[in-house]
C-alpha cells in the first residue's frame, strides 16, 4: 500500500455485540452493507435478470473469498484484465482502462485483497471505477475505499445498490464525459442505466452488448439466465447510441470476449440480424 493511502476501514465491533459483516451473494457476487447476520434475500438474484439456484440463496464474505481464491491480472486483447480464480459468481473479469498516469477500473469483481491492490498500484493505481450494470456492482465500494476513488454509476440503476456509500457518483442523462477521452454511454437494454464505455478506438460493453462465442456477432438480451429478449426498438436504439461513436475493438464481460477489429460493423450487422430474427427470418 503506498504512503498516504488509508488502510481499508474495519467496522469496530463492541465487545459482546454480534459481528457486523458485509455479506456477499454467492450467485451474483454483490457485496451488501454490513449486517449482523446474512441478509434475508438478494434482490438482484430475486430479479428475473439473475436467478436463485435450486440449492437456494447462499452467502460468503470477503475474508472467506480471499481464503481460497485469488485474482489473476493478465492481458486481454491489449487491456489488463482482473478476474477471480477459481471462478466465482457470474465470473466476469474487470478491465484496467488507461487513464493518464493511472487507470479507470471498468466493471468490478467481488474479491479485492492486498495482492490485488499491490498489483494494481504497480500499474498506476485507480483514479475511478465505472460499472456497466448491477450484476457487476460486486464489491465496488470495497474497491473505492481501497483506492480512495469514485464509482461512476448511472442513476437509473440506483435502486440496485446494495451497499450505499458516498463514493458512488450517480450520473444522469445519455452520456458522461470523463477525462482522458473516456465517455460513458447509457446503452440501457439489459438494465435502464446499462452503461458502455468508449475511449478512442475501444468500446467496453460488459453484457449490455454481449459478445457471442465465435466473436463474429454480438447479442442483446433483457435477461441472459432466463433467455428473455429485448424489444427490437430498444436494440436499434442501443445500436444507434454506440453507432454515434467511432470504435474498432470491443470488449465483453468475460476473459477473451474481445472483438479485435471491425467491431462497429459487427454491432451494426448484429442489430440488423436481431431485427430479422424477431420478424421470423434470422
Ligand atoms: Zn445475488
Ligand atoms: Zn447482467
Q: How far is the CA of 90 from the centre of ligand 2 (A)?
A: 9
Which ligand lies nearest the alpha carbon of 44? 1
Ligand 1 centroid to Cα of residue 136, in Å, is: 11
Residue 16 in this model has a pLDDT that exceeds 60: no
The residue among 144, 95, 65, 25 whose CA lies nearest residue 254 is 95
Which ligand has the nearest atom to the CA of 23? 1
pLDDT computed for residue 18 by the predictor = 59
The answer, yes or no, to whether residue 14 has pLDDT greater than 70, is no
Q: Which ligand sits closest to the CA of 220?
A: 2
When pLDDT is averaged across residues 149-166 and rounded to a whole number, the result is 98
3-state secondary structure (DSSP) of residue 258: strand
Cell of 268: 451494426
Distance (Å) from CA 33 to ligand 1 centroid: 13
pLDDT digits (tens, 9 = 90+) for 110-150: 999 999 999 999 999 999 999 999 999 999 999 999 999 99
**pLDDT band at 13; cut points 50, 70, 90:** very low
DSSP states along 125-151: --SEEE-SSGGG-TTHHHHHHHHT--E
> Cα of 50 to ligand 1 centre, how many Å?
8
CA of 187 to the centre of ligand 1 (A): 23
Cell of 121: 498500484
| 187 alpha carbon, distance to own chain's centre | 14
In this prediction, residue 4 carries a pLDDT of 43
Which pLDDT does position 115 carry in this prediction? 98
Q: At 215, which helix (H) or strand (E)?
A: none
Residues 230-246: what's their mean pLDDT? Answer: 97
> Which pLDDT value is given to residue 282?
83
pLDDT tens digit sequence for 197-237: 999 999 999 999 999 999 999 999 999 999 999 999 999 99
Gap from CA of 151 to ligand 2 centroid (Å) = 18
Residues 6+ apart with CB under 8 A from 96: 79, 80, 81, 82, 103, 104, 105, 106, 120, 123
Residue 47 alpha carbon to ligand 1 centre in Å: 9
Give the C-alpha separation, 151 to 131, whole Å.
Answer: 8
CA distances from 151 to 36, 48, 67, 257 (A): 26, 25, 26, 24
Confidence of residue 31 (pLDDT cuts 50, 70, 90): very high
**Residue 19 pLDDT level (bands cut at 50, 70, 90):** confident
- Cβ atoms of 71 and 115 closer than 8 Å: yes
Share of the chain above pLDDT 90, in %: 93
Give residue 228 CA to ligand 2 midpoint distance, Å: 12
Burial (CB < 10 A; 0-12, 13-18, 19+), residue 206, is buried
pLDDT of residue 107: 98
Query: pTM of the full predicted structure?
Result: 0.93
Q: Judge if the upstream peptide bond of residue 258 is cis by omega within 30 degrees of 0.
A: no
Ligand nearest to the Cα of 225, by number: 2
Amino acid at each position: 500500500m503506498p504512503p498516504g493511502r488509508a488502510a481499508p476501514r474495519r467496522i469496530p465491533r463492541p465487545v459482546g455485540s454480534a459481528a457486523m459483516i458485509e455479506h456477499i451473494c454467492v450467485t451474483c457476487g454483490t457485496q451488501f452493507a454490513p449486517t449482523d447476520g446474512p441478509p434475508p434475500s438478494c434482490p438482484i438474484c430475486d430479479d428475473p435478470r439473475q436467478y436463485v439456484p435450486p440449492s437456494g440463496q447462499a452467502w460468503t464474505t470477503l475474508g472467506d473469498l480471499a481464503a481460497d481464491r485469488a485474482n489473476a491480472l493478465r492481458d486481454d486483447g491489449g487491456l489488463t484484465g482482473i478476474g477471480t480464480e477459481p471462478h466465482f459468481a457470474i465470473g466476469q473479469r474487470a478491465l484496467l482502462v488507461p487513464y493518464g498516469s493511472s487507470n479507470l477500473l471498468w466493471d468490478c469483481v467481488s474479491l479485492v485483497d492486498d495482492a490485488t491492490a499491490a498489483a494494481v498500484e504497480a500499474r498506476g493505481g485507480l483514479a475511478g471505477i465505472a460499472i456497466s450494470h448491477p450484476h457487476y456492482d460486486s464489491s465496488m465500494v470495497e474497491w473505492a475505499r481501497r483506492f480512495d476513488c469514485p464509482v461512476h454509476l448511472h442513476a437509473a440503476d440506483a435502486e440496485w445498490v446494495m451497499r450505499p456509500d458516498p463514493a458512488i457518483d450517480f450520473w444522469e442523462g445519455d452520456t458522461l464525459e470523463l477525462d482522458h477521452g473516456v465517455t460513458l454511454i447509457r446503452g440501457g437494454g439489459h438494465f435502464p442505466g446499462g452503461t458502455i464505455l468508449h475511449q478512442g478506438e475501444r468500446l467496453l460493453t460488459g453484457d449490455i452488448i454481449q459478445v457471442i462465442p465465435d466473436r463474429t456477432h454480438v447479442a442483446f438480451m433483457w435477461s441472459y439466465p432466463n433467455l428473455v429478449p429485448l424489444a427490437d426498438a430498444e436494440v436499434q436504439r442501443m445500436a444507434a447510441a454506440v453507432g454515434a461513436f467511432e470504435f474498432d475493438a470491443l470488449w465483453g464481460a468475460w476473459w477473451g470476449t474481445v472483438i479485435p477489429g471491425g467491431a462497429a460493423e459487427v454491432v451494426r450487422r448484429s442489430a440488423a440480424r436481431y431485427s430479422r430474427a424477431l420478424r421470423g427470418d434470422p
